[in-house]
Chain A
Amino acid sequence: MSDTFLTRNPSTLVFLAVLALFVLSVTLLAEGAGVGVISTSFVKTLGKTLCLALVALAMDLVWGYTGILSLGHFAFFGLGGYMIGMWLMYARTQAIVVSSLSEAPIPATDSEIVDAIGNQIFGVVGSSEFPLIWMFADSLLLQLMLVVAVPGVLALVFGWLAFRSRVTGVYLSILTQAMTLGLALYLFQNDSGLRGNNGLSGLQNLPGMDHVPQATLSIWFFWASAAALALGYLFAAWIVAGKFGSVLRGIRDNEARVRFLGYSVEGYKLFIFTVTAIIAGIAGALYYPQAGIINPAEIAPVASIYLAVWVAIGGRGRLYGAVIGAIFVSLVSSWFTGGQAPDLDLGFYTLKWVDWWLIVLGLSFVLVTLFAPRGIGGLVDLWSDRRQPDRHGADLGPGAGALREKEAEQ
């Protein structure tokens, strides 16, 4: 026990303990399982927030550790949501259609049932045919596999093309943003097969679970989200603790040097890009059943930019920083935009937070980047005394890194 993974990484242990305590207290206070102080809708908000923390964790791996500023990870998140949403919508509509057709004098054939489901789902976009991409929608197992496979394969193909051509830095960010925008615009079309801008709805109802109240379902999803976050955190901590983490940070700081050490930088980037896309997909698949609806607006590029803002405010390059950033900013954001924040009367102008919140968020992003690049997570350093190379004064010698004035005086 003296030298295990957790004892060598105390922050992981602390994180898991805090998460467990949080889950326990929410469970005891919730409507579904406890005394009922916390409303079902707020339990859902908390569960969704945990999913956002998980996707922020993925973003931190790919950006904070590897230095790839991806503006596409929220697209992978949305794709995961779409994949599970297809099954939820299909299976639930099927249950409704079967029960209504069973009252007809002649029992309906299988193809009649499928047609009726198609009519129900696609009537809103003026169609009744099932597009090809829905071919597995009747199977939960296959759709769950697609939750992993669709973001994974998209990231693999996109990443292979981009990294192989050695696209880096801001150009790669632009490329990922173009991918995100392209995907969102495609999904907005009615004939994309995913109901255009209507998106998929009614996802909060689990098929075959009509007898379970939403209060209980919300707690189930809250637990599942917390478990996914815990597992994701353990995986991420394990990956960055060893030599793999060294190589990732090396790629972030000096890609060419890593290459001359014999590591195939492109392979590592592709690996981390794909793995984090899969984590994002899983987070999305847990998020949208709690949100109840998914539409292409969720995938819009601005969502991926928010993701980067959360990680930057929370603290790049440390896992708990990403989690803190996502939880803090998204909860504060929903407080301000939900109309709960009281308007500020300045006498000559009334500050409505719903309108002004984005400005505040943008300003704080700029301020954090300029004055506190270590983010909220950097506060932990004050207490744990973790030190960065702290060098003052001008170089005394010819090269960067030579002994500096103040060091020489000491």
Chain B
Amino acid sequence: MSMLLEVSGVSVSFDGFKAINNLSFAIGQAEMRAIIGPNGAGKTTFMDIVTGKTKPDAGRVIWGERNISLLGMSEARIAREGVGRKFQKPTVFEDQTVLENLLMALRSNRSPFAVMFYRATAADLARVDELASEIGLAEALGRKSGELSHGQKQWLEIGMLLAQEPRLLLVDEPAAGMTPAEREHTTAILVEAAKTRAVVVVEHDMEFVRRLDCRVTVLHEGAVLAEGSLDHVTANSQVIDVYLGR
């Protein structure tokens, strides 16, 4: 299987502190992967590098069938290439309705002139309805998203992510602050998404990772410490030392 994203030999340091140290990582076209690691292991910095927010000092980030480099592209350009990101803290546009949030995320031409003349077609609205019922917000389309509860905002953001139709989803702690039932629903959405696209989940919660039932990459001090099934990595003595044994 050809790889969708290949990160190789990437290093980045902030003021002499090596946040990422010769990290290599690859994920296929339709694959779920969980990334775990203690605080400061470089999980968020890794996402920043893939999405173009942080420029690495060394290394390569290769994307897609045509093997293009994501380095040197702007964040917006990378997002249009098909990398979607969900932040740890839910960030939706609170002053706008759920419908406006989803319409803005919906995959379409992003250039200013195209957007200016854009009017939502029936197909677009149908897609938004479908997404809204998937994330349990069908009744809330007309509400300002600032009025939603924390969990609903998390879902709205997941919905916006799906609306973008990315080929790679980077999801940072999707289950934070959710009830057990909400977690289960989130798991189902992510597992479903991983059937057609690549999904990378950063998560602290081992129970949640176990339910995802996927390969796990353990990061430590900016490098990959172990990789494999959850049972495999949790049996690794190094992993136990740095992470689980604490």
Contact = CB atoms under 8 A, between A and B. Distances in A.
Nearest to B119: A242
B93 A253 contact: yes
A213 interface: no
A6 to B, nearest CB: 15
A262 interface: yes
Interface in B58-102: 74-77, 79-80, 84-85, 87, 89-91, 93-96, 100
Nearest to A263: B110
A398 interface: yes
A130 interface: no
A247 B104 contact: yes
Contacts of A389: 94-95, 144, 146-147
A403 B76 contact: no
A400 B53 CA distance: 24
B33 interface: no
Interface string A228-247: 00000000000100111011
Interface in A241-271: 242-244, 246-247, 249-250, 253-254, 256-257, 259-265, 267-268, 271
Interface stretch (B4-12, B148-156, B211-219): B148-156
A271 B112 contact: yes
B153 A401 contact: yes
Contacts of A400: 89
A393 interface: no
A243 B104 CA distance: 7
B94 A403 contact: no
Contact of A260 (B75, B94, B96, B150): B75
Contact of B177 (A249, A262, A399): A399
Contacts of B147: 389, 391
A107 interface: no
A8 to B, nearest CB: 11
A155 B166 CA distance: 35
Contacts of A243: 100, 103-104, 115, 118, 120
Band of interface residues on B: 35 or more
B230 interface: no
Given A243-B115, A244-B115, A398-B177, A261 B90 contact: no
Band of interface residues on A: 20 to 34
Contact of B160 (A249, A256, A261): A261
Contacts of A263: 76, 110, 115
A347 interface: no
A263 B160 CA distance: 14
B2 interface: no
Contacts of A246: 93, 96, 100, 103-104
B116 A261 contact: no
A403 B150 contact: yes
A257 B93 contact: yes
Contacts of B79: 259-262
A370 interface: no
Contacts of B118: 242-244
A227 B24 CA distance: 62
Nearest to B120: A243
Interface of B: 51, 53, 74-77, 79-80, 84-85, 87, 89-91, 93-96, 100, 103-105, 110-112, 115-116, 118-120, 144, 146-150, 153, 160, 164, 176-177
16 contacts: A243-B103, A244-B115, A249-B93, A253-B94, A256-B75, A259-B76, A259-B79, A261-B105, A261-B160, A262-B79, A264-B77, A268-B112, A388-B146, A399-B150, A401-B146, A402-B150
Given A260-B75, A261-B160, 13 more contacts: A243-B103, A243-B118, A243-B120, A247-B115, A260-B84, A262-B79, A262-B164, A267-B111, A271-B112, A388-B95, A388-B144, A389-B147, A398-B176
Interface of A: 239, 242-244, 246-247, 249-250, 253-254, 256-257, 259-265, 267-268, 271, 387-389, 391, 397-403
Closest 9 CB pairs of A and B: A389-B146, A262-B79, A402-B150, A262-B80, A259-B75, A264-B76, A244-B116, A389-B147, A271-B112
